[in-house]
A = this chain, B = another copy of it.
Amino acid sequence: MAPLCAVFRRYLKSLNLKYTPERADILNAIIELDSVFEVEQLLEEVRRRGYRVSKATVYRTIKLLQDAGIITQTLFDARQAHYQLIYGQAPRDHLVCMKTGRNVEFTDEALRDISRRICQEHGWELVGHRFQIYALSPEGRRQIEAGDG
Interface residues of chain A, those whose CB is within 8 Å of chain B, are 73, 75-78, 80-81, 95, 97-98, 104, 106, 108, 110-111, 114-115, 118-119, 122-138, 141
Is the Cβ of A123 less than 8 Å from the Cβ of B138?
yes
The interface residues of chain A, by DSSP majority, are classed as: mixed
Question: In the bound complex, what is the Cα–Cα distance between A98 and B98 (angstroms)?
Answer: 28
Instruction: For the complex of A and B, list the 5 residue pairs with the smallest distance between their C-beta atoms, beginning with the closest.
Output: A75-B75, A78-B81, A124-B135, A125-B136, A127-B134
Question: A134 and B128 in contact (CB under 8 A), knowing A78-B81, A108-B118, A114-B111?
Answer: yes
Is the Cβ of A136 less than 8 Å from the Cβ of B124?
yes
Q: Can you list 20 residue pairs at the A/B interface with Cβ under 8 Å?
A: A75-B76, A75-B78, A78-B80, A78-B81, A95-B122, A95-B124, A97-B124, A98-B127, A111-B111, A111-B114, A118-B133, A119-B135, A124-B135, A126-B133, A127-B135, A128-B133, A129-B131, A130-B130, A131-B131, A131-B132
Residue with the highest number of chain B CB atoms closer than 10 Å, among A97, A119, A133, A138: A133
Question: In the bound complex, what is the Cα–Cα distance between A138 and B120 (angstroms)?
Answer: 12
